[in-house]
Amino acid sequence: MQGEDRRRKARLSLDIPLMMSCYQWEQEGAFSGQSIVGSLRDLSEGGLQIATTYPLEMDMFVVIHFQNDANLPPITARIIRIERHDDLFFYGCMLSGIPLYQRQQLEQYIDRKLAEKQ
């Protein structure tokens, strides 16, 4: 990845398969959505990076569906950065509208995964 790392919170490096639901506006205010297979590359309390072969656009909202064993509800994120390497697109996403209890679940998940890596 290029450029200076501006992230303030520690990120947990991962490579976990996941499903994403992607949404974009259509005519007359309707949403269009589709499911995409990808992988979760890293995760923090405020954002995440996903990788997929599917091209997406800046400012699109994606709903991240974690594996069942993560015990995490779906989380909504907005794409704020896009990088392409070979056939993969890497999307930097900012978490959006996460209620406190979900943020706490996410923090516990990150702590659990960090402990497993030690």
Per-chain mean pLDDT for the chain: 82
> β-strands 31-43, 12-25: how paired?
antiparallel
pLDDT of residue 104: 87
Q: Quick: pLDDT tens for 4-59.
A: 444 456 678 888 889 998 876 665 555 566 889 999 999 887 889 999 999 988 98
Residue 111: beta bridge partners? none
pLDDT of residue 19: 92
pLDDT of residue 32: 64
33 vs 26: CA distance, rounded Å: 10
pLDDT of residue 83: 96
Report residue 76 as tokens.
Answer: 């909504």
| pLDDT tier for residue 61 given thresholds of 50, 70 and 90 | confident
- Whole-prediction pTM: 0.78
75 vs 86: CA distance, rounded Å: 27
Q: Is the pLDDT of residue 69 over 90?
A: no
